Structure 1
Amino acid sequence: MNVPRHVKPPFEAIVACHGATVLRVVRAVVGHADADDAWSDTFLAALKAYPQLPGDANVEAWLVTIAHRKAIDVARATSRRAVPLADPPDSPARERADSHDLDLDAAVGALPPKQRQAVAYRYLAGLPYADIAAILGGSVAAARRAAADGIATLRRTYPRLDTARNHE
């Protein structure tokens, strides 16, 4: 977004610019089923806090920090939900306009939490390791290591990732 540092863009522009990134991040953290809830919670909280955000703040890092916290809240709430006794009927598969890869979602979802979050924040949100370290509460080296370990695990467990890399 090309807006002078001292002038904050309207919140709608923030959502338009960063909404897809936040959705990718929360999908990686909480999974596809709960991502919409975490995304909505993120932008509701951001809307309330936006007036106090300094004009020169890193909006993307700020949103990913909020998304991280909201995703954890949604994951906790999901873990407390009652589990139905009978399987619900299969719903028809929906064609995805964004060709979302559910196998990759599953592979990312199987990573340990710190690795999953570091991979999401680095490779889906494009955040620098310093911001990731601040969000996760560790050092820059630990954030870098978690992301590298997560990618190494994905290369072993998700063969298409390594195949795509070898064809570049």
Structure 2
Amino acid sequence: MRPFEDVVTEHGRTVLRVCRAVVGPDDAEEAWSETFLSALRAYPDLPADANVEAWLVTIAHRRALDVGRARSRRAAPTDTLPERPATHADPADRDPDLWPALARLPHKQRLAVAYHHIAGLPFADIATLLGNSPDAARRAAADGIKNLRALYTKDQTP
């Protein structure tokens, strides 16, 4: 089995993108950290033929939901936020209007778009994560992209 550090290096950016899509950019790093802490504990028992990326995305999905639930229990944020340096380059970082448009998608559409178009997972794996069929996952991703285009275009027009 290859070293866990190599797994983090290879799949860390994908996991971060999934976390951002599920909980947004503010809580993504916390979900990312929780994902890899959980993965580190379970990694020695992972079968040699396992799809590591799909396994990590599944963990990221669950940890991100946990972080989102915890966020909903926190006190209200302040009016101003401290500046945070960009630690991970991401295509969506070049266009800050993309994240709000993604956040406005219905939950399953947002997750299907993130898992397929950001993480690159096949629809069979997405169906397992979302608790539906591969056809329903494919449809949710297609509808999500359609809605994202409409929302994003609408946000861009003056």
Q: Normalising to structure 1: TM-score of the pair?
A: 0.84
- Cα distance change on mapping 1:95 and 1:141 into 2, 3 Å: closer
Q: Provide the C-alpha distance between the structure 2 equivalents of 1:93 and 1:144, rounded to a whole number of angstroms.
A: 35
- Is 2:135 aligned against 1:135? no
Q: Structure 2 counterpart of 1:60, which letter?
A: E
User: 1:78-116: CA deviations, max 9, x gaps?
Assistant: 0111115xx433545756772613211111111111111
Residue identity over aligned pairs, in percent, reads 61
Correspondent of 1:120 among 111, 114, 125? 114
- Cα distance change on mapping 1:119 and 1:96 into 2, 3 Å: same
Secondary structure at the counterpart of residue 12 of structure 1: helix
- Is 2:145 aligned against 1:154? no
Correspondent of 1:89 among 80, 90, 101? 80
Correspondent of 1:14 among 7, 30, 41? 7
Name the residue aligned to 2:43. Answer: 50
Q: Which runs of 5+ in 1 are unaligned?
A: 1-7, 161-168
Name the residue aligned to 2:69. Answer: 76
User: 1:32-70: CA deviations, max 9, x gaps?
Assistant: 000000000000000000000001100000000000000
Q: Which runs of 5+ in 2 are unaligned?
A: none
Q: Structure 2 counterpart of 1:88, which letter?
A: D
Asked whether the equivalents of residues 13 and 88 of structure 2 are also in contact (C-alpha less than 8 Å), the reply is no
Q: Structure 1 counterpart of 2:36, which letter?
A: F
Name the residue aligned to 1:144. Answer: 138
Secondary structure at the counterpart of residue 88 of structure 1: coil
Tell which structure's C-alpha radius of gyration is larger. 1
1:29-44 to 2 correspondences below 5 Å: 29-44=22-37
Count of matched residue pairs = 151
